[in-house]
Structure 1
Amino acid sequence: MASSSGNSSGSTQLQNFGSEGDLHHLVDQRKRKRMQSNRESARRSRMRKQQHLDDLTAQVAQLRKENNQILTSINITTQHHMNVESENSVLKAQMAELSQRLESLNEILGYIDAGGGYGGDFETTPVADHNSFINPWNMLYVNQPIMATADMLHQY
């Protein structure tokens, strides 16, 4: 069965093995080896895909955790901002009220300095209660600025 015109690998192997049965056995063996190699390659490919999927799943979980932390931080910052805005509104209202009181006191002083109104002597001892705003005639130094502390502002 060997041809003398060409040396193909099949004919060379046929000469080495001597029969077609041995050739089929060799082809079957190579085929099984190739199939086994393909199976192993497919298994490795599936393992790589699974590892990639696991990595992406872990990354999604990490990003969701970071997103939740950022949202929590935003909520806390927003609440803090709202508290500061509220406190600022209260302070502005208190400032407006105190400015109005000061303006009223300055008008009274202007009226007194002009010679009108109360003709008696001023009391020279300061009053220790809160009636100073109600009765400004009892104040010792009426030209002094109104002083307030943070503790006083929280009562409003």
Structure 2
Amino acid sequence: MDSSSGLSSNSSGPQNSGSEEDLRLLMDQRKRKRMISNRESARRSRLRKQKHLDDLMAQVAQLRKENHQILTGLNVNTQNYLNVESENAILRAQAAELSHRLQSLNDIVTYLSANGGFVADEEPSYGMAEMAGFVNNSWNCISQPIMLASAASADTGFLY
């Protein structure tokens, strides 16, 4: 029995070592396959990260461009607003001046109507001299030119 068990153990020994060798080769093959798969997965991950970074950089460039366009438009609109405000202030001042002149003319008409008019041939009485002074002062007020700031009147600078 010893001899048969020796043969058996001898024959099973090489089989085990062959089987162990095959198992080791299979494990090494799986290990290499897993390592290659992991490397490929890491490469794909790096590519995805790089693509994401490139996309973000493109988005940053686009947003900067849009921001620049918005700021440029805002500056143009602000300048237009300031120009309109300036013109508006000038027009308000002119309207106030014209209103003052109209009031002076209305005062002259009212005074003349109340005092029966003004005749140059008559001897000026105290009331007439007073009226002449009033008319002269009012006329000086309304005969002054109105200053304009518009480009159309830049040649003369006055509105008559």
Task: State the TM-score, normalized to the length of structure 1.
Answer: 0.65
Alignment of 1:1-156 (within 5 A): 18-115=18-115, 118-120=118-120, 133-134=142-143, 155=157
Greater RCO, 1 or 2 (C-alpha within 8 Å, sep 6+)? 2
User: Aligned Cα RMSD in Å?
Assistant: 3.1
Distance across 2 between alignment mates of 1:92 and 1:155: 17
Amino acid at match of 2:68: N
**Over 6 Å off, 4+ runs:** none
Distance across 2 between alignment mates of 1:102 and 1:152: 22
Indicate the percent of aligned positions where both proteins have the same amino acid: 64
Q: How far 1:36 moved relative to its partner?
A: 0.4
Deviations along 1:17-41, one digit per CA (max 9) or x if unpaired, are 9332232122111111110010001
Stretches of structure 1 lacking an aligned partner (at least 5 in a row): 1-14, 122-130, 136-149
Distance across 1 between alignment mates of 2:76 and 2:63: 20
Secondary structure, counterpart of 2:33 in structure 1 = helix
Stretches of structure 2 lacking an aligned partner (at least 5 in a row): 1-14, 122-139, 145-149
Paired residue total: 119
Task: State the TM-score, normalized to the length of structure 2.
Answer: 0.64
Question: Larger % of helix: which?
Answer: 2
The structure number with the bigger radius of gyration is 2
Contact 1:17 1:23 in 2 (8 A): no
Distance across 2 between alignment mates of 1:61 and 1:26: 52
Secondary structure, counterpart of 1:119 in structure 2 = coil
